[in-house]
Amino acid sequence: MTGFSIDAALRSGFSLARREWKTVLAWGAGAFGLAILMQLLIMGPALPGYIAEVGTDPEGAAAAMEEAMLAHAWLTYPLMILAAFVTLALFYGAVCRAMLRPDERGFFYLRFGRGELWLLLTALALYGLMLLALIPAALLVGLVVAGISMAGGTPWFWAILLCLPLGIGGLYVAARLSPAWIMAWDEERFVLADAWRLTRGHGWRIVLMMLALFFLLLIVMLVVLIPSAIVAFILVSVAGMAGGVGGTLVLAVLALAALVWISAYYGVFYTVALAPYVEVYRELKAGAVAAGP
């Protein structure tokens, strides 16, 4: 049975970022900008009042902002969730296109076509399946723990004992279905059953790849964010001590550099996080095609 290389999957995101660094930077800038836009959407019409009052009464301004956000939550939160899924389809589709169809460059590989629509529908289906699995699992654990607690037992021990196999089983199912969004984009159809068949015999290797990717991303975050925060703190302190026009100019340059750095980090992080799944799909599909019917 033809498999896939975990090493090649983990390296695929870095290879794509090195080959398409301008594109990855644009992805990061776009994702960062859309995140800010969604936050502004949540704040809504209360934002001008917050800006006007935050300088004189920070606590009162924060309380008023929170109250206004809750008052408009029925409208803003559904819009935010919809925008998040559309953004997901847009950027996930761009990563798929950059790796599977590199000739279709377009506008940084970004577009919203039939593939992105099927990716979006598949993501919603996977999200729904996750909720359907989590709700009864949480109820089961809650009922068992409550019963043991009433009987005078040790509830936390049994909670761990129940959650561990449920978590492992959920991780395995997630691994088996992990290529679904890529296959939906590639073939422009509903593919959950086909994704399950494609990963038959590879589930635990995909779980291993997912765990390795998690620790890789954690290392990237620690290596990048902590030194960046320290350097930024030092530079801002120096600029504040300088004062005057020079300090203001230094702060402006630092703000611009921070935007570029954050965009680069966003782009590389998401590329490294998504590309391994596309690589797994590509290798498994190539193996399935080579094996024939």
Please count the structural domains in the chain: 1
Q: Is the predicted pLDDT of residue 90 greater than 60, yes or no?
A: yes
* Segment 96-118 mean pLDDT: 92
Residue 103 covered by a domain: yes
User: How many other C-beta atoms lie within 10 A of the C-beta of residue 199?
Assistant: 21
Residue 153 covered by a domain: yes
Tell me, what's the pLDDT at 57? 62
Q: Indicate the pLDDT class of residue 151, thresholds 50, 70 and 90.
A: low
Q: What is the pLDDT of residues 218-275, one digit of tens each?
A: 988 888 777 777 777 776 676 666 555 555 676 677 777 777 888 888 889 999 999 9
Q: Indicate the pLDDT class of residue 179, thresholds 50, 70 and 90.
A: very high
Q: What is the pLDDT of residues 132-141, one digit of tens each?
A: 888 888 887 7
Residue 221 covered by a domain: yes
Tell me, what's the pLDDT at 259? 79
Residue 293 covered by a domain: no
Q: What is the pLDDT of residues 199-230, one digit of tens each?
A: 999 999 999 999 999 999 998 888 877 777 77
Q: What is the mean pLDDT of the chain?
A: 82
Q: Is the predicted pLDDT of residue 3 greater than 90, yes or no?
A: no
Distance between CA atoms of 114 and 116, rounded to whole angstroms? 5
The residues that bridge with 107 in the sheet, in sequence order, are 110
Distance between CA atoms of 107 and 83, rounded to whole angstroms? 20
User: How many other C-beta atoms lie within 10 A of the C-beta of residue 87?
Assistant: 17
Tell me, what's the pLDDT at 283? 94
What pTM did the predictor assign? 0.83
Residue 1 covered by a domain: no
Residue 194 covered by a domain: yes
The percentage of residues in the chain with a pLDDT greater than 90, rounded to a whole number, is: 41
The percentage of residues in the chain with a pLDDT greater than 70, rounded to a whole number, is: 76
Helices (H), the chain: 6-19, 21-43, 47-53, 58-71, 73-100, 114-150, 155-177, 180-187, 192-198, 203-242, 244-291
Per the CB < 8 A criterion, the answer to whether 173 and 160 are in contact is: no
Q: What is the pLDDT of residues 112-128, one digit of tens each?
A: 999 999 999 999 999 89
Q: What are phi and psi of 56, to 5 degrees?
A: -100, -35
Residue 151 covered by a domain: yes
Distance between CA atoms of 56 and 49, rounded to whole angstroms? 12
Q: Is the predicted pLDDT of residue 93 greater than 60, yes or no?
A: yes
Site of tokens 């990716």: 119
Tell me, what's the pLDDT at 92? 94
Residue 154 covered by a domain: yes
Tell me, what's the pLDDT at 15? 95
Tell me, what's the pLDDT at 44? 65
Enumerate helices (H) and strands (E) in the chain, giving the number of each. Answer: 11, 0
Tell me, what's the pLDDT at 64? 66
Distance between CA atoms of 22 and 288, rounded to whole angstroms? 33
The residues that bridge with 110 in the sheet, in sequence order, are 107
Q: Is the predicted pLDDT of residue 50 greater than 90, yes or no?
A: no
More confident of the two residues 170 and 40: 170
Tell me, what's the pLDDT at 38? 75
Tell me, what's the pLDDT at 244? 58
Closest Cα to residue 33, out of 96, 73, 83, 106? Answer: 83
Per the CB < 8 A criterion, the answer to whether 219 and 272 are in contact is: no
Domain that holds residue 55: 6-288
